[in-house]
A and B are shown apart, each in its own frame.
Chain A
Amino acid sequence: GAGVSQSPSNKVTEKGKDVELRCDPISGHTALYWYRQSLGQGLEFLIYFQGNSAPDKSGLPSDRFSAERTGGSVSTLTIQRTQQEDSAVYLCASSSHPQGTGVGNEQFFGPGTRLTVL
């Protein structure tokens, strides 16, 4: 596709329910990142994928959060037993960043999923 896509664009759920957020990165981008932006806050790193592996999960706030990536492409972020503090915009980004070079490239962001936990 032309850019990073995310679905759903908006998700309203009840406290205690599980949610799945999907990210389709730019084709060929090996690196994929999830970030979270709470109301009035900057972006907070959650997890990084290189291919299907997640060498950096340091930003996941609790064990209720998990993510996977399959086929080196689509990624799913799952939040179990959602809490009100999970309400935020969840942003996915992809990059052609090659692992280990330490150089880093620009990241291309999707439009985000706005999650509201009632």
Chain B
Amino acid sequence: SQQGEEDPQALSIQEGENATMNCSYKTSINNLQWYRQNSGRGLVHLILIRSNEREKHSGRLRVTLDTSKKSSSLLITASRAADTASYFCATAPSGSSNTGKLIFGQGTTLQVKP
């Protein structure tokens, strides 16, 4: 079943602007991860935030996690044309299974115009 819901579905910005994508999920999680996908093929891991963390930074990326609201946001600062891609949030549900499997949202398609 779908765990993550992302918004917006599509985002178009100018180079240099910031891009914010949001993700909501339904159940308790161990961690939440963001991935990037170019041209509908392999995914690249961007950042992982654990359930006991509230904010994490990696280069131009900033991720927040609010477990009380079951939501996360990904901020890309000073965007570049090369950031054009689809971005997915993925949650690792907590519970007895503990398989580490990820439940993905539908993704946000980001277009950065030069």
- Chain A residues with Cβ below 8 Å from B33 are 106-107
Cross-interface CB contact of B30 among A44, A48, A56, A103, cutoff 8 Å: A103
Q: Is B85 an interface residue (CB 8 A)?
A: no
Q: Is A110 an interface residue (CB 8 A)?
A: yes
- Chain A residues with Cβ below 8 Å from B99 are 31, 48, 50, 55-56, 97, 99
- Chain A residues with Cβ below 8 Å from B45 are 106-109
Cross-interface CB contact of B102 among A41, A45, A50, cutoff 8 Å: A45
- A109 close to B98 (CB less than 8 A): no
Task: Say how far B100's CB is from chain A's closest CB, in angstroms.
Answer: 4
Q: Which of A42, A95, A110 has the most CB of B within 10 A?
A: A42
Knowing A42-B106, A42-B107, A55-B99, the reply to whether A106 touches B41 (Cβ < 8 A) is: no
10 closest A-B pairs (Cβ-Cβ)?
Answer: A97-B100, A104-B92, A102-B98, A43-B104, A111-B42, A109-B43, A106-B45, A42-B106, A104-B100, A42-B104
Chain B interfacial positions (CB closer than 8 Å to A): 2, 4, 30-31, 33, 35, 40-45, 48, 50, 88, 90, 92, 94, 97-107
**Complex A-B: 17 CB contacts under 8 Å:** A33-B101, A41-B106, A43-B43, A43-B90, A48-B99, A50-B99, A55-B99, A59-B101, A89-B40, A89-B41, A100-B98, A102-B94, A102-B98, A104-B31, A107-B100, A110-B42, A112-B41
